[in-house]
Chain A
């Protein structure tokens, strides 16, 4: 059995869903942030796989890879900012649990 596009997509979907449920169910902001990262990386896997499997000699299809580079860069920046915010939050409120941080109301 050769490893085809489907296998990659299944892995990507699994990673995405794991990340999504992490975001949905966990209360710890750090883990929610990790869940977000997992979702992004799930997308990345799918993009690279599409890029690889749809390429032809005439059209090497680098767009998917390009997308991924962008996402990695943005995700890195996002993590940097997000972690900094979490650190500040912890300093202010002595907690990073989401159920105790409901400031968006009003």
Chain B
């Protein structure tokens, strides 16, 4: 089996599954689940086989011409290099375990067929996005993951909130894609190609060809897909979807696609654009960490945590790449940004998927009671979930030697080397991260059950805790290279700037201090001072209101849509009706009608009247004939 065939199968297996489900699986939930999970398993198996057994770490690019219009050619092809291989591993591996978890989670759901169909379409689209070898193809799958995300957010379509969230997600992403598409087209016309490999060669040979506007436009897609400020508003709302969807799409893989895109074309950014990336990422990281304190919905807390971590990734990419490309002209340093961002992306995919699946397990057991202050005391009732969730919380808090420590450490070290301001902000974010995770963790699992739903919770079945276990293993060991296929080590180990010596100690101390202090604060503030409701809401309602407001960004967008966009639309529709349709079109018909009324006056009905008209006509004609009118 050659690698091209394998990639081909990996890409198209889930599409085949989706087609089968679309044709036969709508009423047969279990059948659909079997097909979808089977295809996902095969995808994972083939990916692991490819990465461990077949791929020799050389870049691979099979390609075919797909469409020609005049001088414009579109290609389809795969580009398997280190970045793609890493995502291939993450997506197929995490994807399968989440699929397995979904079997338990969706039991009894009448829309099960639709759910698994959507999941399979997502796996197809995400794989296409990962493997795409040019920007047009990337855009195609970029849109398709957006579509599957839309379908899955709208899974509980009876709920108006879910429908609204789905629309919001797609439209906000379209806003990002608007810039992204302009960027791609401009890039195509500017460089004459959108092929990633050719672009890399061109950009390396002619650095003066890079244009900041193109770079910024290409980033615009990342803002939408990876939910960076100011296009972050869709991600918290997207939690209306089923929890496995949140885990797979809105935590582990799709939202990371933006970071993946950054790394895929890391050579396309000018220094200005990279600075913009750093600012955007840092602002997103701290902003979302603060927002996480304002919500009490377990999934929304995790969503803000995802946003914050994505901000980390984006900032890390920007710092590392600026360092490697423009400050430290070392061959090995070129990939510092890509390495740091992708390493944290990988570990984040493990522990965040674990957190979401743990939350899913809790929600499944507690009849979808999502408010953490209405849960409590779950550690005794759901011991396995509790254990795995604990691991994930420690991992995200950055406690050594768990996965999150290693990758976050590398990012903090980059910031330490690169920019003091960013470093302090990110350290503060780390502290806040541990703090709100502590809030979530202690309130949810400890104390007494505060509602009947929490009282009646039972541990879920093995299809649900087994994936948690596997992801927990990776959340523990994700910092060590032996758990990854050898082809990935180059990117997430050798391309990452790890601190050594005194720096290492410093980072270790900061990490442990922030993590420990944050968890302790979470315990002391939110648990010890009474977990029946949010303590900040009780003691400092004004500050709590500020946290909940999220700087009114949603409200501003809502105002724009309602009061500006819709008004303008209605005004234009009014003009269309009154001016064009009414005045011009109907008006000209009206003029004809008025002329008709006037002309009708001459039709008296009397024959003699007509004869006089005849006479007058003859007279006029003869006058003309005799040349009276010249």
Contact = CB atoms under 8 A, between A and B. Distances in A.
Interface of A: 23-25, 32, 98-99, 101-106
User: Lowest 9 A-B CB distances belong to which pairs?
Assistant: A105-B605, A102-B605, A104-B605, A98-B607, A24-B611, A105-B603, A102-B606, A23-B611, A24-B608
26 contacts: A23-B611, A24-B608, A24-B611, A24-B612, A24-B615, A25-B608, A32-B607, A98-B606, A98-B607, A98-B608, A99-B606, A101-B607, A102-B604, A102-B605, A102-B606, A103-B605, A104-B603, A104-B605, A104-B607, A104-B610, A105-B603, A105-B604, A105-B605, A106-B600, A106-B603, A106-B605
Contacts of A24: 608, 611-612, 615
Nearest to B611: A24
Contacts of B608: 24-25, 98
Contacts of A101: 607
A24 B612 CA distance: 8
Interface string B551-592: 000000000000000000000000000000000000000000
A24 B610 CA distance: 9
Interface of B: 600, 603-608, 610-612, 615
Contacts of B607: 32, 98, 101, 104
B614 to A, nearest CB: 9
Contacts of B605: 102-106
A4 B91 CA distance: 115
A7 B373 CA distance: 124
B596 to A, nearest CB: 12
A99 B603 CA distance: 14
A104 B600 CA distance: 11
Contacts of A102: 604-606
A104 B607 CA distance: 9
A49 to B, nearest CB: 21
A102 B608 CA distance: 11
Nearest to B606: A102
A97 to B, nearest CB: 11
A99 B610 CA distance: 13
Contacts of A105: 603-605
Contacts of A103: 605
Contacts of A25: 608
A23 B605 CA distance: 15
Given A104-B610, A105-B603, A106-B600, 19 more contacts: A23-B611, A24-B608, A24-B611, A24-B612, A24-B615, A25-B608, A32-B607, A98-B606, A98-B607, A98-B608, A101-B607, A102-B604, A102-B605, A102-B606, A104-B603, A104-B605, A104-B607, A105-B604, A106-B605
A98 B606 CA distance: 7
A56 to B, nearest CB: 28
A37 to B, nearest CB: 16
A24 B609 CA distance: 9
A85 to B, nearest CB: 13
Nearest to B604: A105
A103 B611 CA distance: 16
A37 B606 CA distance: 20
A42 B611 CA distance: 18
Contacts of A23: 611
B600 to A, nearest CB: 8
A23 B607 CA distance: 9
A103 B606 CA distance: 8
A82 to B, nearest CB: 13
A59 B615 CA distance: 36
A41 B607 CA distance: 21
Contacts of B611: 23-24
Nearest to B612: A24
B619 to A, nearest CB: 13
A84 B611 CA distance: 22
